[in-house]
């Protein structure tokens, strides 16, 4: 929409042109980003940290046995062999932080237990075990670890989803807790705000001119706010607004301890309405799904290396629930033939947007395809990389409507994959246009004649694909000229398109005159416009009664 501001003057006049864009209210949309693989990997990292604690405990217990000839059955005997109480606390339990010193330690809070009466001469005898994980260590130092937790622990088997949403939408976060969790359970939703802590440290380097260099460290941290009254496994935000952009998590506790879900980011943004229906973003979300599936499969293969994964129904948590958390993980957003259900009841693993392919091990061929999308033909390889599986051209970003200012530049672009070389043939209003041979069409010094409907055909030796159509609108500013006072208090102004194109009577309804005494407060000047000889005529019958009056013409 063009806007012209014109001040009322008796002798001199000047012109200010401003281009405005009218944006319709965005349709309510919520776009999930499943990151289940990352959540399961986080559980795995906690399990590995637990194993490291067991190794430190084993080393301390072995040193004690070397000094005394026997293993101790009490951690209090090991205080001189451990640097701090920290290894006695499993990282899976967020109910408390590890004590920093032995005098501050509550011995009843220790989350490992020593097996009494272990014979130092028997390396296979179990020496110590975690009360939370299924982890233990033998007298000989070998570690035994299994997936999952001891019965009763409030483990989370489905974490809240990352979500993008248009402002005004309703957003819902939800978790699933393992059925074997000891009752009663307490839940508390939390809002977490990301911030960074920075400091500067000197790093010694004898080869540096000054004996070293300074390095800036930037560490991420979160402030946690408990959300009053949000004590269920589902948290709903109605009419979400941009000031609610943050991370959200759920704390679940019982008498055994406290577990915290993966943080889920909420990003309210008006652009989500575009991303929710855009092919490029469909492809990006599809690639994310594939990456998460391969990550989950690699975690599964770690615990069951002898069980080849041939279908999704094999990928289960220790309690028998699907590793994917939520069914949406198995559905490509571009799949119009399938809709993800809300839950796993009677779920058909063979009718999803993805399929597991016959594959060798990652050691044999890390580039071999593991899982493929039935819609896009992207695939996740054994090494976790995501690639395009076929040679036919495929759009990864569609054309979008554009608006350009008269005399400015317009850029229309599209992205495509496929067997090289790719040939781009551009069309305007259905007719071949331009000699551009790539995915970017640039028009300079645009005029009215450049407006129209554009599309592109991409082809190679295998096939061809036609893009969607996009409209280029060229905004032509109005130029106010020839101020005249035809009678006492009656001001006439003429206005025309800057390119000289005549204004037709049929366009009159699209124009509006607004007036202001101060360039801040504007009101419509009704019934003040007419069309004559291709010009827009503005007539103000009350100009003389105004100390100062500014005019602007708006074209919609």
Name the pLDDT band for 554 (thresholds 50, 70, 90). confident
DSSP-assigned beta bridge partners for residue 422: none
Between residues 543 and 62, the one the model is more confident about: 62
Q: Distances in Å between the alpha carbon of 514 and those of 15, 18, 381, 554?
A: 15, 14, 61, 8
Quote the CA–CA distance of 65 and 515 in Å, as a whole number. 93
User: Does the pLDDT at position 480 exceed 80?
Assistant: no
The pLDDT assigned to 12 comes to: 30
Quote the CA–CA distance of 377 and 363 in Å, as a whole number. 24
Q: Is 294 helix (H, G, I), strand (E, B) or coil?
A: helix
Quote the CA–CA distance of 213 and 203 in Å, as a whole number. 5
* Percentage of the chain exceeding pLDDT 90: 59
The pLDDT assigned to 27 comes to: 58
Each domain of the chain, given as residue ranges in start order, spans 2-24+477-555, 38-149, 153-269, 279-388, 394-475
Name the pLDDT band for 275 (thresholds 50, 70, 90). confident
Mean of all residue pLDDT scores within the chain: 88
Average pLDDT for residues 261-278, to the nearest whole number?
93
Two structure tokens written together for 242: 């941009």
Two structure tokens written together for 491: 């001001």
Q: With contact defined as beta carbons under 8 Å apart, do 315 and 323 qualify?
A: yes
Q: With contact defined as beta carbons under 8 Å apart, do 432 and 457 qualify?
A: no
User: Does the pLDDT at position 248 exceed 90?
Assistant: yes
- Which is nearest to 552 in space by CA: 18, 11, 10, 13? 18
Give yes or no on whether 153-269 and 394-475 have one common fold. Answer: yes
Name the pLDDT band for 71 (thresholds 50, 70, 90). very high
The pLDDT assigned to 20 comes to: 30
User: Does the pLDDT at position 114 exceed 70?
Assistant: yes
Name the pLDDT band for 355 (thresholds 50, 70, 90). very high
Average pLDDT for residues 117-145, to the nearest whole number?
95
Other CB atoms within 10 Å distance of the CB of residue 506? 8
The pLDDT assigned to 1 comes to: 36
- Which is nearest to 127 in space by CA: 44, 50, 76, 60? 60
The pLDDT assigned to 19 comes to: 29
- Number of residues that this document lists for the chain: 556
Lowest mean pLDDT segment, chosen from 283-297, 326-340, 484-498, 536-550? 484-498
For 19-66, how does the pLDDT look when each residue is reduced to its tens digit (9 = 90+)? 232 333 445 699 999 999 999 999 999 999 999 999 999 999 999 999
Give the HSE-up count for residue 537: Cα atoms under 13 Å, Cβ half-sphere. Answer: 14
DSSP E strand stretches across 118-275: 126-130, 133-138, 143-149, 156-158, 162-165, 171-174, 176-177, 186-204, 212-226, 234-237, 246-254, 257-260, 264-268
Q: 519-535 burial, b if ≥16 CB within 10 A, otherwise e? A: eeebeebeebbebeeeb
Quote the CA–CA distance of 180 and 152 in Å, as a whole number. 5
User: Does the pLDDT at position 332 exceed 50?
Assistant: yes
Contacts of 469 (CB under 8 A, 6+ apart): 399, 453, 454, 455
User: Does the pLDDT at position 190 exceed 50?
Assistant: yes
For 461-472, how does the pLDDT look when each residue is reduced to its tens digit (9 = 90+)? 877 888 888 999
User: Does the pLDDT at position 173 exceed 80?
Assistant: yes
Q: Among positive and negative, which fits the CA dihedral 41, 46, 49, 50?
A: negative
Average pLDDT for residues 197-224, to the nearest whole number?
86
Quote the CA–CA distance of 481 and 397 in Å, as a whole number. 44
Quote the CA–CA distance of 193 and 201 in Å, as a whole number. 26
Quote the CA–CA distance of 429 and 471 in Å, as a whole number. 9
The pLDDT assigned to 484 comes to: 79
For 396-423, how does the pLDDT look when each residue is reduced to its tens digit (9 = 90+)? 777 889 999 999 999 998 888 888 899 9
Overall CATH class of domain 394-475 = mainly beta
The pLDDT assigned to 336 comes to: 87
User: Does the pLDDT at position 7 exceed 60?
Assistant: no
Average pLDDT for residues 338-354, to the nearest whole number?
94
- CATH number assigned to the domain covering 153-269: 2.60.40.10
Average pLDDT for residues 230-237, to the nearest whole number?
98
Q: With contact defined as beta carbons under 8 Å apart, do 373 and 329 qualify?
A: no
């Amino acid at each position: 929409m063009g806007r012209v501001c014109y001040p009322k003057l008796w002798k001199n006049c000047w012109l200010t042109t401003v281009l405005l864009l009218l944006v319709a209210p965005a349709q309510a949309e919520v776009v999930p980003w499943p990151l289940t693989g990352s959540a399961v990997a986080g559980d795995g990292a906690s399990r590995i940290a637990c194993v490291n604690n067991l190794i430190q405990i084993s080393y301390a217990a072995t040193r004690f046995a070397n000094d005394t000839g026997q293993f101790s059955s009490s951690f209090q005997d090991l205080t001189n062999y451990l640097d701090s109480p920290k290894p006695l606390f499993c990282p899976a339990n967020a109910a408390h932080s590890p004590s920093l010193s032995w005098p501050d330690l509550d011995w009843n809070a220790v989350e490992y237990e020593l097996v009494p009466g272990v014979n130092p001469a028997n390396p296979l005898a179990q020496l110590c075990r975690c009360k939370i994980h299924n982890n233990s260590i033998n007298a000989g130092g070998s570690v035994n670890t299994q997936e999952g937790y001891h019965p009763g622990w409030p483990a989370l088997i489905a974490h809240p989803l990352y979500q993008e949403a248009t402002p005004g939408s309703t957003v819902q976060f939800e978790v699933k807790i393992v059925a074997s969790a000891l009752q009663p359970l307490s839940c508390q939703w939390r809002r977490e705000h990301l911030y960074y802590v920075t400091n500067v440290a000197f790093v010694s380097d004898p080869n540096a001119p000054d004996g070293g260099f300074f390095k800036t460290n930037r560490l991420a941290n979160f402030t946690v706010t408990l959300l009053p009254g949000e004590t269920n496994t589902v948290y709903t935000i109605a009419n979400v607004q941009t000031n609610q952009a943050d991370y959200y998590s759920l704390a679940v506790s019982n008498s055994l301890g406290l577990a915290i879900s993966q943080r889920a980011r909420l990003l309210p943004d008006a652009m989500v309405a575009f991303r929710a229906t855009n092919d490029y973003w469909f492809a990006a979300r599809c690639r994310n799904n594939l990456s998460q599936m391969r990550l989950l499969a690699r975690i599964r293969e770690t615990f069951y290396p002898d069980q080849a994964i041939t279908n999704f129904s094999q990928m289960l948590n220790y309690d028998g629930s699907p590793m994917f958390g939520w069914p949406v993980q198995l559905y490509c957003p571009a799949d119009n033939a399938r809709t993800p259900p809300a839950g796993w009841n009677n779920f058909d693993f063979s009718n999803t947007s993805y399929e597991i392919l016959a594959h060798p091990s990652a050691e044999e061929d890390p580039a071999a395809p593991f899982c493929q999308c039935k819609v896009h033909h992207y695939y996740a390889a054994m090494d976790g990389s995501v690639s395009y599986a076929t040679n036919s051209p495929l759009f990864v970003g569609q054309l979008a409507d554009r608006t350009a200012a008269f005399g400015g530049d317009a850029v229309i672009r599209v992205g495509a994959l496929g067997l090289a070389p790719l040939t781009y043939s551009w069309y305007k209003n259905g007719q071949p246009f331009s000699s551009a041979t790539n995915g970017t069409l640039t028009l300079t010094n645009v005029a009215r004649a450049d407006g129209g409907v554009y599309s592109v055909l991409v082809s190679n030796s295998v096939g061809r694909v036609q893009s969607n159509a996009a409209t280029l609108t060229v905004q032509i500013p109005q130029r106010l000229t020839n101020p005249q006072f035809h009678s006492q208090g009656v001001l006439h102004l003429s206005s025309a398109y800057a390119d000289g194109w005549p204004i037709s009577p049929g366009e009159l309804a699209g124009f509006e005159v607004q007036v202001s005494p101060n360039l801040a407060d504007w009101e419509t000047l009704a019934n003040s416009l007419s069309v004559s000889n291709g010009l827009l005529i503005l007539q103000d019958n009350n100009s003389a009664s105004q100390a100062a009056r500014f005019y602007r013409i708006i074209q919609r």
